[in-house]
Structure 1
């Protein structure tokens, strides 16, 4: 008869996600995962599968964590306000007292250059979803008049998503909240130029 599990899978997955986001895929060892979760190798493998399977689930977990931000972005009254809400959440995350919040599993994974097809697809598809969110809100702003720039929404979204990655790097380089807010304001000013 199998032993009853005495741990919460969602809580353990949250810890796995924190480890992968902080250390990246290649630098995350089984020992780090065991230390963070308090579980043995067999328990981890039996519950979540191998390292690749754990990482893929961690990506999904990280995306789920961001769902409230996405909802707030989409609920904003105008397209420009939506982009502001997005960057307010980004700056808050990057300047959080919780070190884990400063990391993004998708950005970290893309910077690692992971070439394994399932991992690369999972990361690029999540990246593209963020790009699409930004593009959609920029288009909404162009329609509702809150964004005056006539630059194609795809190009503006490219700038905004590059800014997203830049904020993550700035956080790791020790930039202050005020410095990040000035950078965001400068990027946002592009939306106000015809």
Structure 2
């Protein structure tokens, strides 16, 4: 049985470029022609390697989780102050939202675009956001144990509020004119940790 021709492209690099394309344009506005052009591969290579557009999109979401979001979550694992680590995570997302390309956050964008009417994508996003909220709550629980967070503050409730604020920051950053309000939004969000 013939193995076919060997791949002449880096699968991870092409997946990264697909993720960037979906992130910038959204799922619906990203055509296969745009994808193959941005990925630098043929349509057949896309199908052979990643499946159809939807399968590629789901892999792109997972790639975002495994690269960008893990980078943010790693901030919570740093030694030192758990509250400062949570603040660093919030700043991390603010930097994504403030990107000059006005892309926002890939997860937040997808949540707005597909979450309400695509159960499979909604379930994937729910898993990602639940993990993020759980990691924030764990850091805040540690902060409460060490006396850094006031005893009257509920770590889970605060984590939910912070996650909501992070998503709001990401969506707000999509409009260039709104980016000027990000510092005020960020300041209010950080005050929740006082």
Give yes or no for TM over 0.5: yes
Query: Using the alignment, how far apart are the partners of 1:92 and 1:22 within structure 2?
Result: 16
Give the Å deviation of 1:103: 2.9
Q: Deviations over 1:80-126 (max 9, x none)?
A: 111111012112222234x27x4322111111234444322211111
Name 2:166's counterpart in structure 1.
Answer: 164
Query: Using the alignment, how far apart are the partners of 2:127 and 2:71 within structure 1?
Result: 19
2:94 aligned with 1:91, yes or no?
yes
Determine if contact 1:78/1:144 at 8 Å carries over to the other structure.
no
- Structure 2 unmatched ranges of 5 or more: none
Q: CA RMSD in A?
A: 1.9
Q: What count of residue pairs does the alignment treat as equivalent?
A: 189
TM-score (norm 2): 0.88
- Structure 1 unmatched ranges of 5 or more: none
Q: Deviations over 1:145-192 (max 9, x none)?
A: 222262322211121111111111221122346x42332222222222
Name 2:112's counterpart in structure 1.
Answer: 111
2:153 aligned with 1:151, yes or no?
yes
Give the Å deviation of 1:76: 4.2
Name 1:15's counterpart in structure 2.
Answer: 17
TM-score (norm 1): 0.88
Name 1:3's counterpart in structure 2.
Answer: 5
